[in-house]
Amino acid sequence: MSAPTSGRAPEATFGAVPPADEVTAGWWRATGEHRLTVQTCGCGHTQHPPRALCTGCGATDLLTLAPTEGTGVVDSFTVVHRAPRPDLPTPYVVARVRLAEGPILLTRLEGAGVGKEPDSWRIGDPVSVAWHDLDDGRALPYFVPAVTGTDQHHREA
Ligand SMILES: [Zn+2]
């Protein structure tokens, strides 16, 4: 096994999934049920990924996992044309998605099913969570174009 190339975030791809530890176990357990959660603190702070302490107030005993709506907007993204591993199909889109609850998730964008090409994503695009099931019972969240009730205009050719 060679070390991953520098400059990439291997956890952002479907090719390398970090193991759960005692801090992230609850978050991963929820993914197995296709529930996207974020850590919230008694002080009102919300954060992701799960940490042992609150980055807002430093508390270690006030953190709980709260459900999210599973929606957000694209904060930034990169279209990857050269994968760090040859078995990863390209191009794919690595993105930071700002959840409706506030925290940012490092994730993937997928739009093939609805004709959204990798290069057609824009910052600010509304997205909804979808899930890629892993063999170990966990699942990886990724995001697809959101279907919003206020955006049902019909284009005429
Ligand atoms: Zn706090």
pLDDT tens digits, one per residue of 103-132: 999 999 999 888 899 999 999 999 999 999
Measured CA distances, 124 to 52, 93, 133, 152, 154 (Å) = 31, 15, 27, 18, 21
CATH code where residue 113 lies: 2.40.50.840
Ligand 1 centre from 63 Cα, in Å?
7
Domain count within the chain: 1
- Which residues are placed with Cβ below 5 angstroms of ligand 1, an ion? 41, 43, 45, 54, 56-57, 59
Is 61 domain-assigned?
A: yes
CA of 28 to the centre of ligand 1 (A): 21
Task: Give the pLDDT score at 102.
Answer: 96
Nearest to 71, CA basis, from 26, 118, 38, 43: 38
Say if 56 falls within a structural domain: yes
> For residue 84, is pLDDT > 90?
no
CA of 55 to the centre of ligand 1 (A): 7
Instruction: Give residue 18's pLDDT band: very low, low, confident or very high (50, 70, 90).
Output: confident
Q: What is the mean pLDDT of the chain?
A: 87
Look at residue 126 and tell me if it is in a domain. yes
Q: Establish if 88 belongs to a structural domain.
A: yes
Whether pTM exceeds 0.85: no
Alpha-carbon span 57 to 74, nearest angstrom:
27
pLDDT value at position 6? Answer: 37
